[in-house]
A = this chain, B = another copy of it.
Amino acid sequence: MINIKDVAERAGVSSSTVSRVLTNKPHVNVSSKVRRKVTQAVEELNYQPNHSAQRLRMAGTSKLIGLVISGMLNTHFNAIIHGVSDLAYTNRMNIFLCNAVGDVARERYYMSHIRAERAAGIIVNPQDYDNDGPYLDELRQAGIAVVLLDTTVKGYTFDSVTVDNRQAAYQAVEHLIQLGHQRIGIVSGRQTATTAHERLEGYKDALRNADLAISNDLIKDGQFKEEMAYRATLDFIDMPTPPTALFVINEPMTLGALKALRERHIRIPQDIAIVGFDDTPWSAHIYPPLTTIAQPTYALGREAVRLLMRRIDEPDAAHLTVTLPTDLIIRDSCGAKKGAF
On A, residues with C-beta under 8 Å from B are 1, 46, 48-53, 55-56, 59, 67, 72-73, 78-79, 81-82, 85-86, 89, 94-99, 101, 106, 109, 112-113, 115-118, 138, 142-143, 226, 252, 255, 258-259, 262, 280-282, 284-288
Contacts and interface: CB of A to CB of B under 8 A. Distances in A.
A73 B81 contact: no
B52 A118 contact: yes
Contact of A282 (B53, B72, B98, B282): B282
Contact of A94 (B48, B49, B113): B113
A324 B55 CA distance: 40
Contact of A67 (B52, B56, B97, B138): B97
B50 A56 contact: yes
30 contacts: A1-B118, A46-B138, A49-B116, A51-B52, A51-B118, A52-B53, A53-B56, A72-B78, A72-B79, A72-B81, A73-B79, A73-B82, A81-B99, A85-B97, A85-B99, A86-B101, A89-B106, A94-B96, A94-B113, A95-B97, A96-B97, A97-B97, A255-B282, A255-B285, A258-B285, A259-B284, A282-B282, A282-B286, A285-B286, A285-B287
A53 B59 CA distance: 11
B95 A96 contact: yes
Contacts of A117: 51-52, 94
Nearest to A255: B281
A51 B286 contact: no
Contacts of A280: 282
A267 B91 CA distance: 46
B96 A96 contact: yes
B118 A50 contact: yes
Contacts of A285: 255, 258, 262, 282, 286-287
Contacts of A82: 72-73, 99
